[in-house]
Amino acid sequence: MSRYGKRAGLIVHEEEPFNVETGSAALAEGPLTATDAFYVRSHGSVPEIHPAEWRLRVHGVVERELDLSLATLREAFRAREVTATLQCAGNRRAGLIAIREIPGEAPWGAGATGTATWTGVALADVLALARPLPGAAHVGFDGADLCPEAAPVQCFAGSIPLDKACRPEVLLAWGMNGEPLPPVHGAPLRAVVPGYIGARSVKWLDRIEIRSTACDGFFQHVVYRLVPEDGTPGPGEGMPLGLVALNADVLSPADGETITAGPLEVRGYAFAGGERYVARVDVSLDGGASWSQAELLDDLGPWAWRHWRIMLDFAPGEHEILVRAWDSSAATQPEDEAALWNPKGYVNNARPRVRVRAAPA
């Protein structure tokens, strides 16, 4: 067991702040990711919070400010459960770094994502008690984790539109996969914003601000923005990320693996993001000249990815497995990974390619 209750064998990008990625084998275990294998993306140290002393302040453009204990949150609101995929905006950055370096950013593979069942209260119910006033348009989340990389140094924060905040799937969560939320995942309370980049599911929540404008902090106004290839990240530069873009990857076989020629099951995930669902996943062994449809596995509801599988026959020799997912708008992924390169290495959602060698049986 490594730190923070995580199992051995995770891909550690950084010990402090703690940043670990789930390996493909652990993701392939099933559509729900085990808590001890779930990725952790943090920008500051895990803060020490005493649950009995902790309070959640709700303020800003509201009729009634709130100051709630964990006990009140649990007693005053209906408990809700949502199964949701979280995905870091830097998922699959390694593919972009292979094209051109991205200084200061970790080479996350395709495991900066995972799916869990989250338990808590609906943010909408808390907002209903606070009663947003006319002019309220965004809901900001403030964490307790001080982030040395931010300029100026500040706690992690982010906001979502009020319209999304009022939908029932957005939780203030204290539970993860049927157990208490572990400290490394944001205990005592975190936001869970299904369909949005992981950065909006702010951990170690201690303040919710109802605002007329989007969060202007470092982690929304300076980073977690898509800047054009030839642009320079800076305050307000590029487009703010929010909804997750359609993405997919192969979980098995691994890139570079030597397999035995003959039939082999190929497995992976696809995630539509936003309010969309995965409608189809195609796999090609001939560079996209022809495609076969993969079987979509367990449907865990509108906020979760879909695992998929397909049996393919591999002749002896070199192969490239090419995948494209389609979302419910019949949109599919872009082909060219190189053309997606951007200075911070976000949103690599190019069609994944996995090269394998099939050795004669």
Query: Which residues lie near a second copy (CB under 8 A)?
Result: 226, 228-230, 239, 241-246, 273-276, 279-280, 282, 288, 290-291, 293, 326, 328-336, 339-340, 346-347, 349
Would you say 11 or 197 has its CB closer to a second copy? 197
Q: Which of 276, 199, 284, 208 is nearest to 250 (CA)?
A: 284
Q: Looking at the DSSP assignment, which residues form a beta bridge with residue 141? A: 158, 208
Question: Which tokens hold the place of 223?
Answer: 């980073």
Q: Which three-class secondary structure state does DSSP give residue 160?
A: strand
Residue 197 CB coordination number (10 Å): 24
Distance in Å, CB of 166 to a second copy, minimum:
12
Q: What are phi and psi of 221, to 5 degrees?
A: -95, -20
Amino acid at 312: L
| DSSP per position, 79-104 | EEEEEEEEE-TTTTHHHHHTTS--TT
Q: How far is the CB of 324 from a second copy (least distance, A)?
A: 8
| Residue 109: closest CA among 352, 355, 306, 357 | 352
Question: Least separation, in Å, of the C-beta of 327 and a second copy?
Answer: 8
Q: Which residues of 284-314 are buried (b: 16+ CB within 10 A; e: fewer)?
A: bbeeeeebeebebeeebebbbbbbbbbebeb
Shortest separation between residue 196's beta carbon and a second copy, angstroms: 9
CB of 199 to a second copy, least distance (A): 13
Query: Residue 284 belongs to what H/E stretch?
Result: strand 278-284
Which of residues 228 and 317 has its CB atom nearest to a second copy in the complex?
Answer: 228
Q: How many CB atoms lie within 10 A of CB 341?
A: 17
Coil, helix or strand at residue 271: strand
CA–CA dist 114, 112 (Å, integer):
7
| Shortest Cβ 226–a second copy spacing (Å) | 5
Question: In terms of Cα–Cα distance, which of 42, 190, 38 is closest to 123?
Answer: 190
| Residue 330 C-beta: closest distance to a second copy, Å | 4
Residue in this structure with the two tokens 């923005």, named with its chain if needed? 225
Residue 147 Cβ vs a second copy, minimum distance, rounded to whole Å: 23
Q: Report the b/e string of 130-146 with b at 16+ CB within 10 A.
A: bebeeebbbbbbbbbbe
Least distance in Å: CB of 335 to a second copy? 5
* 159 within 8 A of 166, measured Cβ to Cβ: no
In angstroms, the first-to-last Cα distance of the chain is 37
What is the DSSP secondary structure assignment for residue 26, as one 8-state letter?
Answer: H
